[in-house]
Structure 1
């Protein structure tokens, strides 16, 4: 093993690079790096493999890229809950901070959704008066008189 825990491959006497072997350890490492928001190229470099090799052997992990961050946070909550339930006070404090951070994120997402909602069209005084007149002619009792359909 090298400094970072990757296996050291000694030359076998054959030409070329040895074929990559799938390992659950690498899959877990890739999931963690994706959860941290790393690009595919950066993940491949961090795992000391090429991008095509990453895509070939770890396609199922890459396919779930969008949910890896949520899975990591859920795992963190789960571990902190276990430690807090066992009486670890510092885990309880960290859990409280994570809950507060989660609540702030939910509140800001809610505010962002409200800000993205379509705003009513702003009208000037003349346009408001014109629309009010149109409304009166279409639905009001003055409608038949104003539209020219009166009997004299």
Structure 2
């Protein structure tokens, strides 16, 4: 007997329409979703909330995905790299650039290095934020205009 599916393609529980709440039926899509969320570092409570199931249901049906928490991030990164590589082989130039970034990041991880910091244009002491720059500009009015001359006279800079 074939499995019955609802409009969204999810299997319908055997007791659907009967007494009590139908049992949760795990699908491959949900297994993939749980694996992805575990790889992103989500807690079990957060995953269960996103899946609209309880913690015991999550642990009952998705225990194998939850047990791979130690390697889930590496598996997720590997899957992403494979998808990117497929695009590279198809000739996608944007994917080539992105794959180069992934490759550089991987090389840095291998050798225990970090990305070099972007060079600063000016030393931190010389840089001013927007508000500080506005205060400095207000204290030094432009005397090339009538308004600037008036402001300078009021501040006693130009008598």
Same fold by TM-score, threshold 0.5 exceeded? yes
Query: 4+ residue stretches of structure 1 with deviation over 3 A?
Result: 12-16
Per the normalisation by structure 1, the TM-score is: 0.60
Give the Cα separation in 2 of the matches to 1:49 and 1:55: 10
Gap change, CA 1:52 and 1:6, over 3 Å in 2: farther
Structure 2 gap ranges (5+):
1-5, 115-159
Cα deviations across residues 44-94 of structure 1 (Å, max 9, x unaligned)? Answer: 111110000001111111111111110111111111111111211000000
Aligned ranges for residues 1-152 of structure 1 at < 5 Å? 14-108=18-112
* Structure in which a larger fraction of residues adopt helix: 1
Query: Aligned-pair RMSD on alpha carbons?
Result: 2.5
Q: Distance in 2 between matches of 1:36 and 1:105?
A: 18
Q: How many residues of Structure 1 are paired with residues of Structure 2 in the alignment?
A: 105
Aligned-residue offset at 1:6: 9.9
